[in-house]
């Protein structure tokens, strides 16, 4: 058993709160500092109900501390995408095989549940209203603002985890060290959260077990169900241009735009103008950096080391998977934290980069391709290939969402499969064409080629 440490976690978001439980389980003493007040006592985000899609990688990390089932109970399975076209026609496309789903959970609810679980642990102490202002990594010295007293406090850290999100101050301190790699890139799109309230008398106004998408080529709106019968909608929209956040200035502009673009949603959104003009526009950033650690003193985790855009629904899932991977490494740990951090960042960095790229690619798929009948046909053909060759072919979306195959493996295999699909689809007009001998022959040949290129199958990863 390695030496017990006094560990500081900066940030009590989803990743920081879960990490505290894993570290305390291994006998460490954890102090967790959070800039905001205790979310369980104070209404944050104006009380809006904001949700997230939780999938297999996230559930696996929750299983490790025994709360997978409890979270499933308060989550809503979404078995596929429900596409809404401009006439209000609906098309359903399953995400995976029967029984597979991603789960809509309340962000605040999940965060509060993790806090409730960790706070009674004598090895975990939460310190709210403490904001990291500055960090001297060489001397293990953190400067915090205490928002209760209004004063600054100095804190000596022994071992520090930076779980302070996309705009991490811990990372900021690392950026000042030598030869530090850092990049951030913003999409030219922002997002705004809107609401579809519950039906009168209770219940959901749209299909409850689906993630709804209004794909409109250049932009889109999505909606995820909440337990109370409402849906949280997110409009992803350009910042500037003829149709953009900038161009919609009045209630009339907004209503005209919505009536034309999302006509079936308008009657379901009585608070549209109020929501639209009072909710902020969120930005969409990808952050990449390296290394993630500093000596044996500090390690970044979650969004602090790899913030991604939300179009694969994987940001939190990837952060939770960081914890699973770290915990596996702690299993046979010899006490050398510097080596552990190095091993961890080397293992996770290619996967973090891969999900960052996949997430940007999926934006195009969601806002544009899902409305294309050829794309939907292709998805059906892929499902057939998967059914016929379950060991040789898992669709990219399924690899990312329903397995724990490394994201980098999924990205690379997805590229090979994409090239094959392009060839196969040249011979396909309808689903029935799949059974034609020439298609089957082509596919068989391509699968052999693919195995040669990959050199190993998913089972060996
Ligand atoms: P955060 O959740 O950002 O938590 C960081 C914490 O640190 C916060 O509590 C913050 O207050 C605190 N903090 C920050 N700075 C300081 C400081 N200086 N001092 C002290 N404390 C500090 N992911 C999914 O898996 N599925 C989804 O469907 C999904 N949808 C998304 C939709 C949108 C619109 C967005 C923007 C993101 C979405 N994500 C999704 C991504 C997900 O929200 C993040 O990946 C996840 O929240 C990362 O968790 P974290 O704990 O690393 O960071």
**Bridge-partner residues for 151, per DSSP?**
146
C-alpha 388 to ligand 1 mean position (Å): 39
Q: Are residues 124 and 266 in the same domain?
A: no
* Rounded mean pLDDT, 313-329: 98
The model's confidence at residue 369, banded by pLDDT at 50, 70 and 90, is confident
Kindly tell me if the per-residue pLDDT of 243 is higher than 80: yes
Contact between residue 213 and residue 220 where contact means Cβ atoms under 8 Å apart: yes
- Give the mutation target among 13, 302, 355 for probing the ligand 1 site: most ligand atoms within 8 A of CB: 13
Kindly tell me if the per-residue pLDDT of 457 is higher than 60: no
441: which residues sit within 8 A by CB, 6+ positions away?
none
Output the DSSP codes for 57-110.
HHHHHHHTTT-HHHHHHTSEEE-EEEEE-TT--EEEEESSSTT--EEEEEHHHH
∠ at Cα 392 (387, 396), nearest 5°?
Answer: 80
The model's confidence at residue 169, banded by pLDDT at 50, 70 and 90, is very high
Name the closest-CA residue to atom 33, ligand 1.
Answer: 310
Return d(Cα 78, Cα 74) in angstroms, integer: 13
The model's confidence at residue 458, banded by pLDDT at 50, 70 and 90, is low
Sign of torsion over alpha carbons 370, 349, 413, 57: negative
- Give the mutation target among 153, 303, 324, 401 for probing the ligand 1 site: most ligand atoms within 8 A of CB: 303
The model's confidence at residue 450, banded by pLDDT at 50, 70 and 90, is confident
The model's confidence at residue 455, banded by pLDDT at 50, 70 and 90, is low
Q: Which stretches does DSSP call E strand in 157-291?
A: 159-162, 181-196, 210-215, 220-225, 231-238, 282-290
Kindly tell me if the per-residue pLDDT of 62 is higher than 70: yes
C-alpha 15 to ligand 1 mean position (Å): 8
- Percent of residues, the chain, with pLDDT higher than 70: 97
The per-residue pLDDT for 1 is: 58
Q: Are residues 165 and 314 in the same domain?
A: yes
The residue range of the domain holding 206 is 186-283
Return the number of other C-beta atoms located less than 10 Å from residue 301's C-beta. Answer: 28
The per-residue pLDDT for 454 is: 66
Number of domains in the chain: 3
In order of 13, 65, 108, 327, 351, the CA distances from 320 in angstroms are: 11, 12, 16, 11, 13
Mean pLDDT of the chain: 94
Which of 36-45, 307-316, 415-424 is predicted least confidently?
Answer: 36-45
Entry pTM: 0.96
Domain-located, residue 97: no
Last residue of a domain, one of 309, 333, 362: 362
* Rounded mean pLDDT, 320-335: 96
Rounded to a whole number of angstroms, the CA Rg of the chain reads 23
Last residue of a domain, one of 343, 362, 381: 362
Q: Are residues 329 and 217 in the same domain?
A: no
**Stated length of the chain:** 461
Q: Are residues 403 and 421 in the same domain?
A: yes
The per-residue pLDDT for 453 is: 75
> Residue 140: which CATH number?
3.50.50.60
At 132, list the tokens: 């990291």
Phi-psi group of 104: left, alpha or beta (phi > 0 → left; psi -120 to 50 → alpha; rest → beta): beta
Domain-located, residue 83: no
Kindly tell me if the per-residue pLDDT of 286 is higher than 50: yes
- Give the mutation target among 9, 11, 292 for probing the ligand 1 site: most ligand atoms within 8 A of CB: 11
C-alpha 69 to ligand 1 mean position (Å): 23
ipTM of the complex model: 0.99
Q: Are residues 162 and 200 in the same domain?
A: no
* Rounded mean pLDDT, 290-310: 98
The per-residue pLDDT for 368 is: 78
Q: Are residues 259 and 113 in the same domain?
A: no
Q: Which stretches does DSSP call E strand in 137-281?
A: 141-146, 151-156, 159-162, 181-196, 210-215, 220-225, 231-238
Return d(Cα 394, Cα 366) in angstroms, integer: 19
The per-residue pLDDT for 365 is: 82
Ligand 1 atom closest to Cα of 130? Answer: 20
C-alpha 315 to ligand 1 mean position (Å): 8
Q: Are residues 136 and 252 in the same domain?
A: no
Could you report the per-residue pLDDT of 406-438, keeping only the tens digit for each? Answer: 999 999 999 999 999 999 999 999 999 999 999
Domain-located, residue 94: no
At 449, list the tokens: 């080629």
The per-residue pLDDT for 110 is: 96
C-alpha 13 to ligand 1 mean position (Å): 6
Contact between residue 101 and residue 402 where contact means Cβ atoms under 8 Å apart: no
Phi-psi group of 198: left, alpha or beta (phi > 0 → left; psi -120 to 50 → alpha; rest → beta): beta
Kindly tell me if the per-residue pLDDT of 127 is higher than 70: yes
* Rounded mean pLDDT, 158-163: 98
Return d(Cα 40, Cα 37) in angstroms, integer: 9
- Which candidate, 231, 197, 207, 174, places its Cα nearest to that of 78? 207
Return d(Cα 206, Cα 221) in angstroms, integer: 14
- Which candidate, 61, 110, 99, 15, places its Cα nearest to that of 398? 99
Domain-located, residue 243: yes
* Rounded mean pLDDT, 131-148: 97
Last residue of a domain, one of 256, 283, 310: 283
C-alpha 28 to ligand 1 mean position (Å): 24
Return d(Cα 239, Cα 229) in angstroms, integer: 31
The per-residue pLDDT for 197 is: 97
The per-residue pLDDT for 46 is: 63
Ligand 1 atom closest to Cα of 234? Answer: 34
Domain-located, residue 63: yes
Contact between residue 232 and residue 223 where contact means Cβ atoms under 8 Å apart: yes
DSSP state of 196: E
Could you report the per-residue pLDDT of 247-271, keeping only the tens digit for each? Answer: 999 999 999 999 999 999 999 999 9
The model's confidence at residue 364, banded by pLDDT at 50, 70 and 90, is confident
Could you report the per-residue pLDDT of 73-97, keeping only the tens digit for each? Answer: 999 999 999 999 999 999 999 999 8
13: burial class by Cβ within 10 Å (0-12, 13-18, 19+)? buried
C-alpha 285 to ligand 1 mean position (Å): 12
Domain-located, residue 246: yes
- Give the mutation target among 40, 134, 186, 310 for probing the ligand 1 site: most ligand atoms within 8 A of CB: 310
Q: Are residues 157 and 199 in the same domain?
A: no
Could you report the per-residue pLDDT of 201-236, keeping only the tens digit for each? Answer: 999 999 999 999 999 998 999 999 999 999 999 999
Helix (H, G, I), strand (E, B) or coil at 122: coil
Contact between residue 318 and residue 58 where contact means Cβ atoms under 8 Å apart: no
* Rounded mean pLDDT, 160-177: 98
The per-residue pLDDT for 47 is: 59
Site residues for ligand 1, CB cut-off 6 Å: 10-16, 33-36, 52-53, 131-132, 163-165, 169, 191, 234, 282, 302-303, 310, 313-317, 319
End-to-end alpha carbon distance in the chain: 29
The per-residue pLDDT for 407 is: 98
Q: Are residues 269 and 225 in the same domain?
A: yes
Domain-located, residue 95: no
Q: Are residues 23 and 152 in the same domain?
A: yes
Domain-located, residue 250: yes
Q: Are residues 27 and 122 in the same domain?
A: yes
C-alpha 303 to ligand 1 mean position (Å): 6
Q: In what order do the strands lie in the sheet with 282-290?
A: 90-94, 80-84, 210-215, 220-225, 231-238, 181-196, 282-290
C-alpha 201 to ligand 1 mean position (Å): 34
* Rounded mean pLDDT, 140-159: 97
Contact between residue 375 and residue 369 where contact means Cβ atoms under 8 Å apart: yes
Kindly tell me if the per-residue pLDDT of 461 is higher than 50: no
Q: Are residues 54 and 178 in the same domain?
A: yes
């Amino acid at each position: 058993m390695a030496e017990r440490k006094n560990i500081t976690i900066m940030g009590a978001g989803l990743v920081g709160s879960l990490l505290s439980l894993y570290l305390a389980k291994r006998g460490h003493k954890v102090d967790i500092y959070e800039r905001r007040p205790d979310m369980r006592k104070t209404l944050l985000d104006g009380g809006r109900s904001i949700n997230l899609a939780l999938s297999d990688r996230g559930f696996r990390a929750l299983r490790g501390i025994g709360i997978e089932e409890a979270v499933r109970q308060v989550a809503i399975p979404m078995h596929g995408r429900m596409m809404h076209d401009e006439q209000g026609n609906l098309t359903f496309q399953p995400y995976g095989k029967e029984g597979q789903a991603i789960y809509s959970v309340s962000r605040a609810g999940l965060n509060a549940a993790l806090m409730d679980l960790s706070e009674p642990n004598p090895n975990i102490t939460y310190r709210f209203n403490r904001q990291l202002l500055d960090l001297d990594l060489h001397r293990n010295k953190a400067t915090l603002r205490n928002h209760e007293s209004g004063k600054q406090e100095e804190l000596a850290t022994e071992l520090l985890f930076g779980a302070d999100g996309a705009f991490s101050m811990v990372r900021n301190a690392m950026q000042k060290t030598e030869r530090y790699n850092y990049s951030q890139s913003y999409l030219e799109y922002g997002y705004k959260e809107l609401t579809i309230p519950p039906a009168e008398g209770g219940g959901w106004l749209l299909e409850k077990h689906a993630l709804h998408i209004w794909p409109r080529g250049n932009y889109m709106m999505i909606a995820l169900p909440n337990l109370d019968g409402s849906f949280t909608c997110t409009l992803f929209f350009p910042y500037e241009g003829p149709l953009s956040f900038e161009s919609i200035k009045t209630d009339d502009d907004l209503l005209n735009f919505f009536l034309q673009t999302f006509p079936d949603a308008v009657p379901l959104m009585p608070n549209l103008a109020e929501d639209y003009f009072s909710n902020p526009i969120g930005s969409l950033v990808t952050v990449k950096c390296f290394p993630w650690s500093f000596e044996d003193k500090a390690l970044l985790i979650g969004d602090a080391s790899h913030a991604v855009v939300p179009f694969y629904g994987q940001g939190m899932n990837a952060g939770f998977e960081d914890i699973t991977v770290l915990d596996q490494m702690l299993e046979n740990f010899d006490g050398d934290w510097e080596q552990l951090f190095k091993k961890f960042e080397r293992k996770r960095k290619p996967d973090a980069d891969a999900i960052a790229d996949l997430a940007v690619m999926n934006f195009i798929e969601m806002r544009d391709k899902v409305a294309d009948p050829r794309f939907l046909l292709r998805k059906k053909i892929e499902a057939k290939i998967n059914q016929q060759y379950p060991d040789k072919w898992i669709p990219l979306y399924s690899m990312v969402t329903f397995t724990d195959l490394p994201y980098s493996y999924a990205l690379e295999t997805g590229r090979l499969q994409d090239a094959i699909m392009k060839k196969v689809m040249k011979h396909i007009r309808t689903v029935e064409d799949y059974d034609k001998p020439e298609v089957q022959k082509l596919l068989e040949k391509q699968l052999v080629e693919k195995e040669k290129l990959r050199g190993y199958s998913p089972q060996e990863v």
